[in-house]
Structure 1
Amino acid sequence: MQELNQTQISQRLDQLTELSVQLGSSHDTDTLLERILIVAKSMTNADGGTLYRPSEDKRYLDFTILINDTLKTHQGGINGEPISAPGVPLFDENGEKNLASVAAYAAHFGLSVNIEDVYKADVFNFSGMVKFDQLRHYHSQSFLTVPMSDHEGELVGVLQLINAKDSDTGAIRAFSQTDQRFIEALAAQAAVALTHQRLIAQLEELLESLVNLINIGIDEKSPYTGRHCQFVPELTMLLAEAVHSTETGPMADFRMSEQDRKELWLAGLLHDCGKITTPVHVVDKATKLETIFDRIAVIDTRFEVLLRDAEIDALRRKLAGGDHAAIDAELAQLQATLREERDFIRDANVGGEGMKTEDQERVRRIGQRRWVGVDGAEQDFFSDDELTNLTIKFGTLTDTERKIINNHISMSIRMLEALPWPKHLKNVPEYAGGHHERMDGKGYPRGLTKEQMSIQARVMAIADIFEALTAKDRPYKKGKMLSESLRILGNFSLNGHIDPDLFDIFIRSKIYLVFAQKNMDEKQIDDIDESKIPGYTP
């Protein structure tokens, strides 16, 4: 058996040290695994090696990387061909531990197995290996199999090396005890690194699951908002990728790493998380009189009372000897007026882009009517709250309700800033919290200007507005046509609302069309003449 000299031992220690540094800095599991196997082969001068990982159900050892120099085979990892070999069963058909396979044995008992010549060993079943040798005209001889376990003793992999070679003659030799100790040390280091990566992956999965949990809660509370929380990150990433690919203009230097992308995606998913605290009747207020129900039905009932009272009054006047024809004419005129006013109030209850001043005044005049309630007392036709709601100029929200809605972004920021974000996700609160800010500083909640905002937050602001304009499922409005949405967005780029440079990329890269064709109703997608879009020069 070949003995190592001081130089060789020193070289192996250097390899272990170098690998330790690489294990600590690598963030890609496939790269990490391939490096582990290559260093193990080099350290022992092995002809081949295999690295197994336990399957998700813990019933198999899956081939992860397989390398053999003589056979010029490299499967798995980052540079290899796809794995063709089936996994090694850890249990037999009766559920008993598979102890016939050396890899399975090492996995079950956490013990290294060092075999000098597999053709002389009778403890394990090497029939599959023998067939492999015959088929490939290869001769397997020495095996070193070392399990890799984490700090809790859970198996994270098995490292198997084959055919150690004499460094001077090239002859196949047994793996020495020194080889075994070095590979066990390497396996221990590798297990720590793999466990570290697995824990990081599990934490990231947990974070993403919590984000999805929040969005499920928002979706259950308001399916309209839930849809918005899914489409805004999608649109944000479309635009961000277009900016990333831009090579000229003010945005030419903007680039994103994979971590940057993950950070922005999470911010997009969480941008409206504060709406989980917003009352449903405000978030989904479809009409001006809606609370937990649409109070227009109550107003309709009052008109029915007025219509009934008018008819009763007419009958009484007839019984008192009045002119029937004149009374009927007056009644018909009054009932027609009441029905017209009822229809007008129904229309006024539907939010719009801007209620005319004369229509607001007409609502107030109608409100001056008196009616007799169920308690027999005469009272104003509209309550103060009903009058305030029916005269809303834009949309369906009162000033108080709009403040409640606007507060969702402050709540989102508070919620997100309360979390201990890791370094690579530290910008999530800023990205998510800036989508209602304006370039001219007139936005909310912080009144930031363009210079005070990141490009990512400015990207999300455009995505949020465009999705809201085109959304076809909001209870308080219809989805706008694509051309009208772009006209509004273009005017926003001119009046200091959104970033004109990002808007230019949004149009020039056809992001609007990609999103529209995938997510908008085809009836909303009309022909676009980009030369007529405000703020854009083709």
Structure 2
Amino acid sequence: MRFTVVRSLLISSIYMTHESNDYQTPSIEQRLEQLTELCVELSSNHDTPLLTEHILRVAQRMSNADGGTLYRVSKDGKNLHFNISINDSLGMYQGGVRGQAIEMADLPLLDINGQANLNTVAAYAANMRCSVNIPDIYQADGFSFTGMLQFDQQQKYRTVSLLTVPMLDHENELIGVLQLINAINPQTKIISTFSDTDQRFIEALASQAAIALTNQLLISQLENLFESLIKLINIGIDEKSPHTGKHCMHVPELTMMLADAVHLTDSGPLADFKMSVRDRKELWMAGLLHDCGKITTPTHVVEKSTKLEMIYDRIHAIDCRFEVLKRDAEICILKQKLANADLTVQQQLDQALQQELIQLEQDRDFLRHANIGGERMSMEDQERVKQIANYQWCGADNVMGNFLDQEEVDNLTIRAGTLNPQERSIINNHIVLTIKMLEALPWPRHLQNVPEYAGGHHERMDGKGYPRGLRGEQMSVQARLMAIADIFEALTAKDRPYKTGKMLTESLDILGRFCLNGHIDPAIFDVFVRRKVYLDYAKRFMDPEQLDEVDENKIPGYMVL
């Protein structure tokens, strides 16, 4: 076995002479203290790049190594990836937190035949799950040291001793490989071997590091899984209504853009608002989930693009009724003409018929337009709908009745949008269900505010919002941020079935009026405009045709300094 050969080389090596009492390596107590300190950091530090670098540096100090490399297993498990490489004598620092880019290729764990690669020391240690301690690579056999020898030649360096330890987790799964080179006698500065004590401590360190990195990986995987499940919910909403799918993606993006701008604000009422990495993750999660309750909203309500739409647009049924009215008018005139042969009377009857047909056609066009919906329907138009509703017609049951029933009148006189009060209540209920769904989850401490952030984006500063009627001071800054993001995205979106996307200037004008009437937070709106968040968002997500030139002096509720 190669490892047996290597161990025999270690035992017979002349470098063992440096294991004398004069060799001032760290004491057992010092190494235990270093290992304990590292274990504490492993349990508390969640910055993986910083952590892996610290692991390597502690391993260097613990063994007096001149340099070292920490490999991580690639995602497909087929290679060892250079994560960080350090050499003190050469001043080399690659990878890690601030090092230069890694220039070395990955080490394959399998050969061309798909068998375990036992050719290089690091791959051997990884595949065999054992440590390899070599006193002098120039006197060792059984491994290919081509890469190291080329490195020595290029750098005018001499690699002598080598300690390679696999990093295995609690299930003996390979996490990475820790490789140290050239143990240095701190007193004589002569290259020595890595002692048995060095090896045992590095193996202990590697084991603890592997478990910590595994835990971090598992946490990361769970977080990714959770975020993927959230996106799965949004896909479900998207499939129910492709017209609102982008809303679930764009609102979190705009929320974070605005939150970052507020975070950078150093004056005014928002100067104290700051966000940590965890705070940002919590807000991002809330943004993704802010409309999750819509998964329960009936599709015909979400997709209602006209006032009369249900399974189909009932305006076509009304079109048929107009054809019946026109037919009946023609029949009535024809009967009168048959009863009176006077040409003058017949001409008058023809003129009356034409006027009636024109009026009916105008009324039909009017109802078609009223059916589309908009921001505001005038009282005059609502009254005209009611007048047309009183026309009499004879249906299939041969019974005379009003041209429009009350439900049709109620829908066609909807003041804004396409939803009647009952449907609006169903839509608004999505936020109640969002809160109910989110509050039912066992959130970890660093995500415990997600329900409040996500559930507050329809509240208003003046307390007239829903579902809880909270006032501004009762809402978190994060909820107020999301409220502005939600409104602005809705104004500018081009994918809604009931409207076209508004121009940038008009959207800011409407949002500014919301600021003045107590709907949104004026301080956050000020940041939204002053730091050009609206423009950054527009360039990323809006149609270029919507990006007209904005005169900030004319935006209601905003004061240019």
Query: Which of 374, 378, 385 is equivalent to 2:407?
Result: 385
Change (3 A) 1:474 1:127: closer
Tell me, in whole angstroms, the C-alpha distance in 1 between the residues paired with 2:479 and 2:470.
11
Using the TM superposition, give the Cα deviation of residue 416 of structure 1 relative to its aligned residue in structure 2, in angstroms: 1.6
Tell me, in whole angstroms, the C-alpha distance in 2 between the residues paired with 1:6 and 1:468.
67
Using the TM superposition, give the Cα deviation of residue 241 of structure 1 relative to its aligned residue in structure 2, in angstroms: 1.3
Using the TM superposition, give the Cα deviation of residue 343 of structure 1 relative to its aligned residue in structure 2, in angstroms: 1.5
Q: Which runs of 5+ in 2 are unaligned?
A: 1-15
Q: Which letter does structure 2 place at the counterpart of 1:461?
A: A
Using the TM superposition, give the Cα deviation of residue 11 of structure 1 relative to its aligned residue in structure 2, in angstroms: 0.4
Q: Which letter does structure 1 place at the counterpart of 2:400?
A: E
Q: Which letter does structure 2 place at the counterpart of 1:437?
A: E
Query: Aligned pair 1:508/2:530, yes or no?
Result: yes
Q: Which letter does structure 2 place at the counterpart of 1:183?
A: I
Using the TM superposition, give the Cα deviation of residue 138 of structure 1 relative to its aligned residue in structure 2, in angstroms: 2.2
Tell me, in whole angstroms, the C-alpha distance in 1 between the residues paired with 2:484 and 2:298.
26
Equivalent residue number for residue 290 of structure 1? 309
Using the TM superposition, give the Cα deviation of residue 7 of structure 1 relative to its aligned residue in structure 2, in angstroms: 7.2
Change (3 A) 1:278 1:89: same
Q: Which letter does structure 1 place at the counterpart of 2:284?
A: W
Equivalent residue number for residue 453 of structure 1? 475
Query: Aligned pair 1:254/2:276, yes or no?
Result: no
Q: Which moved more, 1:261-270 or 1:134-143?
A: 134-143
The runs of at least 4 consecutive aligned structure 1 residues that moved more than 4 Å come to: 3-7
Tell me, in whole angstroms, the C-alpha distance in 2 between the residues paired with 1:519 and 1:39.
47
Tell me, in whole angstroms, the C-alpha distance in 1 between the residues paired with 2:138 and 2:232.
56
Query: Aligned pair 1:110/2:129, yes or no?
Result: yes
Tell me, in whole angstroms, the C-alpha distance in 2 between the residues paired with 1:490 and 1:380.
44
Change (3 A) 1:7 1:337: closer
- What whole-Å deviation, never above 9, does each CA across 1:267-298 have from its counterpart, x for those lacking one? 11221111111122212222111112211111
Equivalent residue number for residue 30 of structure 2? 11
Query: Aligned pair 1:95/2:114, yes or no?
Result: yes
Q: Which runs of 5+ in 1 are unaligned?
A: none
Query: Which of 440, 450, 457 is equivalent to 1:435?
Result: 457
Query: Which of 203, 207, 210 is equivalent to 1:191?
Result: 210
Alignment of 1:220-299 (within 5 A): 220-299=239-318
Using the TM superposition, give the Cα deviation of residue 232 of structure 1 relative to its aligned residue in structure 2, in angstroms: 1.4
Equivalent residue number for residue 75 of structure 1? 94
Query: Aligned pair 1:336/2:358, yes or no?
Result: yes
- What whole-Å deviation, never above 9, does each CA across 1:59-105 have from its counterpart, x for those lacking one? 21111111122222221111321111112111111111111111111
- What whole-Å deviation, never above 9, does each CA across 1:467-508 have from its counterpart, x for those lacking one? 212223322122233222222222221221111111111121
Using the TM superposition, give the Cα deviation of residue 158 of structure 1 relative to its aligned residue in structure 2, in angstroms: 0.5
Tell me, in whole angstroms, the C-alpha distance in 2 between the residues paired with 1:94 and 1:460.
55
Alignment of 1:343-354 (within 5 A): 343-354=365-376
Change (3 A) 1:177 1:287: same
Query: Which of 14, 20, 43 is equivalent to 2:39?
Result: 20
TM-score normalized by the length of structure 2: 0.92
- What whole-Å deviation, never above 9, does each CA across 1:281-325 have from its counterpart, x for those lacking one? 212222111112211111000100111122223223333445533
Using the TM superposition, give the Cα deviation of residue 354 of structure 1 relative to its aligned residue in structure 2, in angstroms: 2.4
Q: Which letter does structure 1 place at the counterpart of 2:322?
A: F
Using the TM superposition, give the Cα deviation of residue 210 of structure 1 relative to its aligned residue in structure 2, in angstroms: 1.2
Q: Which letter does structure 2 place at the counterpart of 1:372?
A: C
Equivalent residue number for residue 5 of structure 2? none
Using the TM superposition, give the Cα deviation of residue 434 of structure 1 relative to its aligned residue in structure 2, in angstroms: 0.8
The DSSP-based 3-state class of the residue aligned with 1:18 is: helix
Tell me, in whole angstroms, the C-alpha distance in 2 between the residues paired with 1:524 and 1:32.
47
Equivalent residue number for residue 131 of structure 1? 150
Alignment of 1:303-322 (within 5 A): 303-321=322-340
Using the TM superposition, give the Cα deviation of residue 400 of structure 1 relative to its aligned residue in structure 2, in angstroms: 0.4
Count, aligned residues: 538
Equivalent residue number for residue 498 of structure 1? 520
Query: Aligned pair 1:467/2:486, yes or no?
Result: no
The DSSP-based 3-state class of the residue aligned with 2:172 is: coil
Tell me, in whole angstroms, the C-alpha distance in 1 between the residues paired with 2:509 and 2:39.
57
Tell me, in whole angstroms, the C-alpha distance in 1 between the residues paired with 2:444 and 2:542.
36
RMSD between aligned alpha carbons?
1.8
Asked if structure 1 preserves the Cα contact closer than 8 Å seen for 2:25 and 2:64, the reply is: no
Equivalent residue number for residue 205 of structure 1? 224
Equivalent residue number for residue 64 of structure 2? 45
Asked if structure 1 preserves the Cα contact closer than 8 Å seen for 2:461 and 2:521, the reply is: yes
Tell me, in whole angstroms, the C-alpha distance in 1 between the residues paired with 2:507 and 2:148.
67
The DSSP-based 3-state class of the residue aligned with 1:486 is: helix
